[in-house]
A = this chain, B = another copy of it.
Amino acid sequence: MPGKTNYEVRSLARGLDVLAMLAEAEGTVGVTEVAESLSVDKSTAFRLLNTLVGQGFAVQDEDSRRYRAGLRIVQLSRRVLDRTELRAVARPWLKQLQRTTGESSHLAVLAQGQAIYVDKEDSDAGLNVNTEIGRPAALHCSAIGKALIAELSPEEIEAFLSREAMARYTPRTMTAPRELVPHLESIREQGYAVDDEEFEPGVRCVAAPIRGPGGRVKAAIGVSGPSVRVTLERIPELAATVVDTAARISQLLGYSG
C-alpha cells in the first residue's frame, strides 16, 4: 500500500464489515458468502466469524452451521441509547408533544450523513405513522432531515446532497439541489421544516431543530401524521408547538438563545 498512511486495523475493519453484513442479511449467512463479499479467503472469513461468535456478536446455527447476528449488538445499542443525555432530556417533551398534538413524535440526530431516529412516541390513533428507532431518514425529503441540515454551511449541504442521489419517493419529493437549497433557506428563516407528502404519500410532518450550547444544531424533533388529520391549515399551529418544544429542550441542553 504505497503512500496511503493507514492508521487503521484492517482485520478489525473487516470484522466490522462482517458484523454489518450479518445484521443486514435477511436470514443466515455462510462462511463462503462472507468470504466472497469481502474478497478474502474462506479461512479468513471463518476466523472472523469465529471471533464474532466468541464475543456474542454472532451465533452459529446448530443445524445449518451458518451464522446469524447475535444479540450482543442489541445489548450494546441499548446502552448507547441510555447514555445519550439528549434522549433523557427530550423524553418527557416527546411524550408531551405527542399528547398535545395527538400525532406521533420523533427525535433524530445527524450521524454518518444520515438522520437517525433515536426516540419516538407513537400516537394512540388507529391510523398513525410508524417509524422505528435506529432507522435512518432521508435528509432531503423528511421534515426532521431537512431541519437537521438546514443550518449547515452551503458546502456541507452540497456534500450531503451529493452523497445520496436525492431519490424520488413521491411526486412531491424535491430531487434537484437548486430547488432544495432555497427551500432550506426558508426553513432556516421560519425556524421549522415541513414534509408535505414528500417522503410518503398521505403523510405530513413538521420538525424543528434542537440546539446545544453555542447554538449548533444537535438534533431535531418533529411530529408526523396522516394528511387527513395533519391538514395544511393545521400546520402553523403544529409548527408553533414543535418549535416551542424544541426551544425548551435546547434550553435544557444549555442553549441560551
Contact = CB atoms under 8 A, between A and B. Distances in A.
Interface string A77-117: 11111110000000000000000000000000101100010
A19 B7 CA distance: 17
Interface string A3-26: 000011101111111011001111
Interface string A59-89: 1000000000111111111111111000000
Interface in A30-79: 46-48, 50-52, 54-57, 59, 69-79
The secondary structure that dominates the A interface is helix
A38 to B, nearest CB: 13
A161 to B, nearest CB: 19
Contacts of A80: 23, 69, 71, 73-74
Nearest to A70: B111
A6 to B, nearest CB: 9
B26 A75 contact: no
Interface residues of A, number: 53
A226 interface: no
A244 interface: no
A74 B9 contact: no
A81 B70 contact: no
A215 interface: no
Contacts of A116: 71, 74-75
A20 B83 CA distance: 13
A8 B78 contact: no
Contacts of A134: 71, 74-79
A19 B70 contact: no
Contacts of A79: 23-24, 69, 134
A74 B118 contact: yes
Given A71-B118, A79-B24, A112-B70, A7 B47 contact: yes
Interface in A177-210: none
Nearest to A57: B16
B46 A7 contact: yes
A240 interface: no
A69 B134 CA distance: 14
